[in-house]
Amino acid sequence: NAGVTQTPKFQVLKTGQSMTLQCAQDMNHNSMYWYRQDPGMGLRLIYYSASEGTTDKGEVPNGYNVSRLNKREFSLRLESAAPSQTSVYFCASSEVSGSLGGEQFFGPGTRLTVL
């Protein structure tokens, strides 16, 4: 099992460009998440999908959109990248979500730089 995979691993964008970060999991998990990690800020939730067919905003959703393409895949899109979106992005998945106590399994991360 590959677990949670993310593409690309690294990306450099210019301000105003768009891109989509891809995430896939092969653990048959119901819930998927997108986080951003900035120095000294911990992991902040951007969007999540509690189950296939649903998506909801997290703590920092502005400037992002998501698509739960099917049970396996959850993509994150930046429509018009800004320097403030320079960060490391992690995708995660879990069998159950939130207070139900499902362990979140993280992907390897995407390091994004916006110039």
Partner 1 sequence: GENVEQHPSTLSVQEGDSAVIKCTYSDSASNYFPWYKQELGKRPQLIIDIRSNVGEKKDQRIAVTLNKTAKHFSLHITETQPEDSAVYFCAASGAGSYQLTFGKGTKLSVIP
* Residues near partner 1 (CB under 8 A): 31, 40-45, 48, 50, 56, 58-59, 90, 97-101, 103-104, 106-109
The distance of closest approach from Cβ of residue 58 to partner 1 in the complex, given in angstroms and rounded to an integer, is 6
* Calpha distance 56→47 (Å, rounded): 6
Q: Give the residue among 83, 82, 88 at the shortest CA–CA distance from 34.
A: 88
Strand 110-114, strand 87-94: pairing: antiparallel
Residues 8, 27: Cα–Cα separation, whole Å: 20
By beta-carbon proximity to partner 1, the closer residue of 14 and 28 is 28
Nearer to partner 1, 36 or 81 (CB): 36
* HSE-up of residue 5 (Cα within 13 Å, Cβ side): 8
Q: How far is the CB of 114 from partner 1 (least distance, A)?
A: 21
CA–CA dist 56, 45 (Å, integer): 10
Whichever of 85 and 104 has its CB closer to partner 1, that residue is 104
Minimum separation from the CB atom of position 80 to partner 1 (A): 26
Nearer to partner 1, 56 or 79 (CB): 56
Q: Output the smallest distance, CB 16 to partner 1, in A.
A: 30
